[in-house]
Amino acid sequence: MPKLEIYIRKMVIVRAKEGYSQRKIAANLKISRRAVQNIIKKYKNFKTVEDLPRSGRKRSYTDRDLRNLIRLSQVNPFLTARELRDQWKNVSIETVKGLLRKKKLFGHIAARFPFLSKKQIKKRMEWAVQYGTWTNDQWSKLIFSDECSIQLKPTRRVYVRRISGQRYSKSYTIKTVKQGGKSFMVWGAIKSNGARKLVNFLKNADSIEYQRVLKEGLIPFYNTDEIFQHDGAPCHRSKSTENFLLSNNICYITDWPAQSPDLNVIENMWAELKKRVAAHKISNIAALRKICFEEWLKIPNDYVINLYRSIPQRLLSVRKSKGLNTPY
């Protein structure tokens, strides 16, 4: 049965003090006689009709302990609830999680960003300003490319505890690292109309291997009014590769800023590809490679087209961040 409102309980006491019988009080307030009895009894014993505090189990921590827990989490937001518990008090992990949630400290997947030197930050800012005047038509002529490592077992997610709205704060992000484990490399390229290429690529490739990939993947794919983009990897910038591009009349960007996955829309294609591949149960590299090439072609053209539309906003974000990492 629902609890009676406080004002009704008070009216019971007022009527009782005025000399009304319990029967009349119950009829007048339209409540049961038992409820009237209980309210009067409670008032005689505790001098109140308010709800009494429940005894419950005594807290196993003090307010000071709680402040220490919050400080521990803020000093190292990458500690798990178990690790925090081990450094704090002998309580359940659920207790730790519950206390942190009350302070708006929730567990989130940590964003990954490459490390940027001051020189690279300056270059990114300059590049975003210089190319900020490009039109959508100019961007549509750009062929984005990159290499990617496809893992048989995806990289373990790292969680961080933070308040909402701080996903890309430096304190809560982790640097990207080279992946290990069983994997294979691919080279990919995309165009603004949704067209795309994917070619097998050897790990630790040299200029000769890179040029083989370009011969297979780029040359048949390239139109004379287009511009080719690739980053500053050694095999990309070698004299041999530059001569290869020139001899094949490939126009390419020469000043692409280092450590800038947020500006290369093919990075989103890799993320989408890996998500699709992860939906399959795969036990060996051969099967992984097959699924990878199949899923690459299944990504909708509209997905690629929308990535190209996002480029002006990406440049604006880099300018607003003064060259620092931005979400993509």
pLDDT at 152: 81
The span from the CA of 253 to the CA of 321, in Å, is 23
Q: Is the pLDDT of residue 103 over 90?
A: no
How do residues 271-326 score in pLDDT, each as one tens digit?
A: 999 999 989 988 899 999 999 999 999 999 999 999 999 999 999 999 999 999 88
Q: How many CA atoms lie within 13 A of 11 on its CB side?
A: 14
**156-203 per-position pLDDT tens digit:** 667 778 877 776 677 767 666 555 568 889 999 999 999 899 999 888
The residue length of the chain stands at 328
Model-level pTM?
Answer: 0.67
Task: Report the topology of domain 113-320.
Answer: Nucleotidyltransferase; domain 5 (3.30.420)
Q: Lowest mean pLDDT of 31-35, 57-61, 71-75, 246-250, name the range.
A: 57-61
pLDDT at 193: 92
- E strand or H helix that includes residue 36: helix 33-46
Helix axes 207-217, 239-247, angle to 10 degrees: 20
DSSP element (H, E) containing 147: strand 142-151
- Return d(Cα 177, Cα 231) in angstroms, integer: 17
Confidence (pLDDT) at 155: 63
Domain residue ranges of the chain, discontinuous segments joined by +: 6-46, 63-103, 113-320
| H or E segment and range at residue 45 | helix 33-46
pLDDT of residue 56: 64
